[in-house]
Amino acid sequence: MSPMTSALIHYWHRLPAETPAARRKSLEATRERVRSALERPSALVPFALGDVDDGIVAAATRMYFAAVTAVGAASDTEVIGEVTDWVRRGLALNRGAVFGALLTAGDDRLAERLAALRLQLSAAEVEAACRVIGAAREPRVAAFVQEWLAVIAGSPLQRESRLLAGLLESARSARAA
C-alpha cells in the first residue's frame, strides 16, 4: 500500500469523528508544519482528496498547489498535471471544490486544463465549484465561467446553466456594491 493510500485511509477513519472546525484546525497546523519544512507538502493531500467540506478541500488544494510550486519539488507542468488529475480521475471526494479551488488559484495553465474537464462535472459538483468560486471578482474567473455557460447553452444541462448564471450574477452584484 502506498504511503498516500495509508494517509487517506487514516484520514477517512478520523473524518466521521471530527467536526469541520477540528479538521480546519488540523489543516492549519499541517500547513504551518509544511511552511516550516517540518512536513512535506504531500501532508496536505489527504485534506484535499479525503474531506467533504468545501472550505477544507478548497483551502487544502490551494495550499498544496502553492506549497509545491513554491518549493519547486516538481516542474510546474507536473504539478498542474497532478492536481488536475484529481478532478479528471475523480480522486477527490469533493471534486467540485477541488475544481473551484484550482480555478481561483490564478494560474492560466490550470484554467486551460480545467476547461477540458468542466463538462465531466455532475450538477452537484458544479454546485460545489460555484460555492468555492463564490463572487469571484477576478476577470479571468468570470471569463472562464461565461465561456463555460456559453459551451452548455442550449444543452440539457439546465441545472448547471442556472448555477453558472447565478454565479455570474452574484459576481456582478458584488462588483456593483
Whole-model pTM: value is 0.92
Residue 2: the pLDDT is: 81
pLDDT single digits (tens) 31-75: 999 999 999 999 999 999 999 999 999 999 999 999 998 866 557
CA distances from 144 to 24, 69, 166, 172 (A): 29, 23, 14, 14
Number of domains, the chain: 1
Structural domain for 30, as ranges: 3-176
